[in-house]
Amino acid sequence: MLRPEARIARIAERQHSVFTTEQARASGLSAAAVQRRVDAGCFARIYRTVLHMRGGALTYEGRVLAAVLATGNGASASHVTAGRLLHLDDVVANDLHVTVADGRRVRIPGVVIHRPRRVTKRDFTRIGVIPATSPGLTLIDLSGVLSEPALENAIDDARRRELVYASSLLRRVEAMDARGRRGIPLLRSVLRERVGEPIPGSKWETRLKELLVSHGLPLPIAQFEIHAPDHTFVGRPDLVYPQARLFIEFEGYAFHSSRIAWEDGIARQNELVALGWVPLRVTKRQMEHAPLRIIDLVSGRLISAGVIPRPQMV
């Protein structure tokens, strides 16, 4: 039979090095025995009812789970905290937000507590071992605190990973009362634009499109399907100007899942070039350090193809 310390160590190993005083008692340690181990430095008390096993790193996930456990039954990580746990694009957080489904009034030091008006069981899930709001409810909550570009990137990331579907989330948001939720009008607008539209390959694709339009260039078509004369499908580049036979691909090193995928991309580009298409490959570094060069290259192609007029010399 395992000793109490070994039982607790197993629990802590599964729970990002944190555990509750109730779990300690269930493992065979009295409150006095727990306190003796705290005094000896074996355990560290995070909250009154939640402890950390010394020797294990207290990660952000551990801090989040500790806050949820301290809040009690029916508590879930939410808002920017849930967004960070989901690794949504442009959601960065170190603070702790917890939603209490039953509306209990509770105060935990350093934790922002939320009590939503209307939620169902479908609004909650688990991210690993951590209870959290669902991706849909998380995006609804985030709409009140994120900028429009950040919210767009978070939504597109969730769509890419099939965490949410724009049409389903829009139906829910359309039926919501916007009173008390200042982000709902923005969320509705963003979702309406995305229903039926292709999902960007990455947030950088979205930023690239915004860069082009912000400099007065026509809006490129995203995920445009290109076929050979015999109607064989050739490719679906990130952004396309069909009239100029120009396609633009954002090149992110991490987006190639394998060498085979990388080689397939090269083969596809060769096929498009053979059909008379002009490629332009753009990287994150180019967008950050030489955005005007990208504009010059795209403008030059659009001008030579007669899509936009040549600037008049003054």
- Give pLDDT, residue 313: 65
**Of 60, 109, 67, nearest in space to 87 by CA:** 60
Q: Strand 111-114 vs strand 124-127: parallel, antiparallel, or unpaired?
A: unpaired
- Give pLDDT, residue 100: 94
Instruction: Show the low-confidence residues of the chain (pLDDT under 50).
Output: 256
Rounded to whole angstroms, the Cα distance separating 263 from 257 reads 11
Strands (E), 174-288: 221-222, 226-227, 233-235, 239-241, 246-251, 278-283
In whole angstroms, how large is the CA radius of gyration of the chain? Answer: 26
pLDDT tens digits, one per residue of 32-47: 999 999 999 999 999 9
pLDDT tens digits, one per residue of 90-146: 998 889 999 998 878 899 999 999 998 788 889 999 999 999 999 999 999 999 999
- Give pLDDT, residue 189: 93
- Give pLDDT, residue 75: 95
Output the pTM of the full model.
Answer: 0.77
Domains in the chain, start-ordered, CATH in brackets?
4-58 (no CATH), 71-194 (no CATH), 203-304 (3.40.960.10)
- Give pLDDT, residue 256: 47
